[in-house]
Structure 1
Amino acid sequence: MKVALYHSDRDTSVMVSEKLVELLRESKIEIDDKNPDVVITIGGDGTLLSAVQEYLPRLDRVRFVGVHTGHLGFYTDWRDYELTGLVEALVRDQGEEVGYPMLDINVKYADGSISKFYAVNESTIKKLSGTLVADVYIGDELFERFRGDGLCLSTPTGSTAYNRSVGGAIVHPRLEVLQMAEIASINNRVFKTVGASLIMAPNETVTIRPVTAGGTFNFTADRIDVVGEAVLSVDYRISTRKVKFIKYRHTGFWNRVRNAFIGNIDDI
């Protein structure tokens, strides 16, 4: 097994990384940041999302495991005081894994160029100033003309992130569906949207086409931020690629949701 370490810049994360290097070497586990089989992230959920982007070319061959150095994270199964147990689990590794679906995104710009992105959580599109006016297509059919601050497209695991904060539903990741949630839509006697998040089948696509001529936009895909580009369209679908996590003690999805938003029921 070859292991890579990917940590945040926080002093605590750096110290944990140094300690983990010692433990890995003592256990004869090879450290290889370029061609790893396992990527250990040290920090929080944001660190893990950045690590996925870093290792996209090896996504089909690598598994991730997160060590949290702050408050409880949604994707991180180990705490910074459990390093010995983590290394012992790596030594006993039998290839256990669980896969979560990702977003497959294509952005077409006014100059004709196209950029491809993948996201574990979500992607958003907003206008830099004023109202976003965009036609929303589901498949090849026009669904609505949206007016508002923006739109958020999320995976099932990402449904607990920004999607939830704008009123979207929480979806179990075994349902490999695409969700679109509105961000402050305009609804009155003149302008109308569906006014609710949409959960679409795995094989469906969503295309967003801004109608504001010459407008520039803020597009995001997880922690990637593209600002000020003239966007012609954004195509979304659930990717056939998945991000894989080590399953030694992988916390069940609903337990993650409860821990993140409710806490200990005995404290209620």
Structure 2
Amino acid sequence: MTSDRRNLYFYYHPHEELNEKLKPIFQLAEENNFKIVDDSKNANIIIAVGGDGTFLQAVRKTGFRQDCLYVGIKKENEAGLYCDFDIEHYNEMVDSMINAEVEVRRFPVIETTINNESTFLCLNECSVRSTLIKTIDIDVFIDDIHFETFRGDGLIVATPTGSTGYNKSVNGAVVDPKIPCFQVSELASLNNNRFRTLGSSFILGSERTLKLHVQQNGNDFPIVGMDNEAYSIRNIRELTVQMSQNVIKTVRLKNNSYWERVKRTFL
């Protein structure tokens, strides 16, 4: 780890047991000339302690920083596709960072613009679903060409790393994060003579633009999920999804590839 990356910010949800486990990590970091800061704006390494959900929150709460590295530390029994390190083996983490046994990987990010007004970044996925006990109707456009009219519970637009999350639970494909793309998957589509969809997930390249026009037929308050946070925004008419120029730079062990983590998690 280079000498200019020495300011650490720890993002976690405090409780007594976790606080005790973190004390020796703080001490070991300081003994090795790392500085622990209280404000993420002063950090150049942001460490999320928890599972993948905590990692996603850390990235979002700290503003998808482009000038720092993100590190994931998992607790026991936590999913860890974003987390290369284990809190019980913190010595290995510090040693790896000091001895350059880690690599920097870059995860693709998508950006979602709602009603041509507010833009949000997503590391995992963006989803749109009905808040009512009824279907939602969405006109799907790819590069301004009408592709299909969807009726069902909703749609998921996932990044490659997000393909192992919500997307996978609806039988979407698991995608290599080295491929800059995003995937669209259906939630309980209704196919008949009036509404006809592809009926399977499809993957769009990084140069594509996806537009989702929400038909105003009573579903004016759909839930839009951004990673693991939900937003209820009044009168959503259109969502535009594209690949972002931003990436999330994370630290991984050299001997711990994405597909090795997928295998450990699911197989």
1:252 aligns with 2:257: yes
After superposition, the Cα gap between the structure-2 partners of 1:260 and 1:30, relative to the gap in structure 1 and judged at 3 Å, is: same
Tell me how many residue pairs correspond in the alignment. 257
Deviation of the 1:20 alpha carbon: 1.6
Question: 188, 191, 196: which one pairs with 1:192?
Answer: 196
Higher mean C-alpha deviation, range 129-138 or range 228-237:
228-237
Question: 38, 47, 50: which one pairs with 1:43?
Answer: 50
Q: Could you tell me the percent identity over the aligned residues?
A: 29
Deviation of the 1:30 alpha carbon: 0.9
1:84 aligns with 2:69: no
Deviation string, structure 1 residues 187-220 (Cα, Å, up to 9, x no partner): 1244211101010111001111101245211001
Higher mean C-alpha deviation, range 144-153 or range 95-104:
95-104
| Deviant stretches of 4+, over 6 Å | none
Question: 101, 104, 112: which one pairs with 2:108?
Answer: 101
Match of 2:3 in 1: none
After superposition, the Cα gap between the structure-2 partners of 1:194 and 1:45, relative to the gap in structure 1 and judged at 3 Å, is: same
| In structure 1, distance between residues paired with 2:26 and 2:222 | 42
Deviation string, structure 1 residues 211-241 (Cα, Å, up to 9, x no partner): 1245211001112211252201111111111
* 1:144-163 correspondence to structure 2 within 5 Å: 144-163=148-167
1:227 aligns with 2:232: yes
Contact residue 7 and residue 17 of structure 1 kept, 8 A: no
After superposition, the Cα gap between the structure-2 partners of 1:104 and 1:52, relative to the gap in structure 1 and judged at 3 Å, is: same
**TM-score after normalising by structure 1:** 0.90
1:65 aligns with 2:68: no
* 1:5-20 correspondence to structure 2 within 5 Å: 5-20=10-25
Q: Which amino acid counterpart does residue 112 of structure 2 have in structure 1?
A: I
* 1:136-175 correspondence to structure 2 within 5 Å: 136-175=140-179
| In structure 1, distance between residues paired with 2:18 and 2:162 | 24
| In structure 1, distance between residues paired with 2:43 and 2:225 | 27
After superposition, the Cα gap between the structure-2 partners of 1:213 and 1:190, relative to the gap in structure 1 and judged at 3 Å, is: closer
Question: 129, 148, 151: which one pairs with 1:126?
Answer: 129
Computed over aligned residues only, the root mean square deviation of the Cα atoms, in angstroms, reads 1.8
Contact residue 5 and residue 17 of structure 1 kept, 8 A: no
Q: Which amino acid counterpart does residue 63 of structure 1 have in structure 2?
A: L
Match of 2:119 in 1: 116
Match of 1:265 in 2: none
| In structure 2, distance between residues paired with 1:4 and 1:80 | 16
Deviation of the 1:94 alpha carbon: 8.6
After superposition, the Cα gap between the structure-2 partners of 1:250 and 1:40, relative to the gap in structure 1 and judged at 3 Å, is: farther
Unaligned stretches of 5+ in structure 1? 263-268
Contact residue 107 and residue 114 of structure 1 kept, 8 A: yes
1:28 aligns with 2:33: yes
Deviation of the 1:92 alpha carbon: 3.4
Contact residue 216 and residue 237 of structure 2 kept, 8 A: no
Unaligned stretches of 5+ in structure 2? 1-5
Deviation string, structure 1 residues 7-60 (Cα, Å, up to 9, x no partner): 124544333333321211222211123321111111111110001012226x21
What is the SS of the residue equivalent to 1:151?
strand
1:242 aligns with 2:253: no
Deviation string, structure 1 residues 154-174 (Cα, Å, up to 9, x no partner): 001100100010111111011
Match of 1:208 in 2: 212
After superposition, the Cα gap between the structure-2 partners of 1:30 and 1:115, relative to the gap in structure 1 and judged at 3 Å, is: same
Contact residue 96 and residue 102 of structure 2 kept, 8 A: no
| In structure 2, distance between residues paired with 1:16 and 1:237 | 40
Q: Which amino acid counterpart does residue 219 of structure 1 have in structure 2?
A: V
**TM-score after normalising by structure 2:** 0.90
1:52 aligns with 2:59: yes
| In structure 2, distance between residues paired with 1:184 and 1:196 | 11
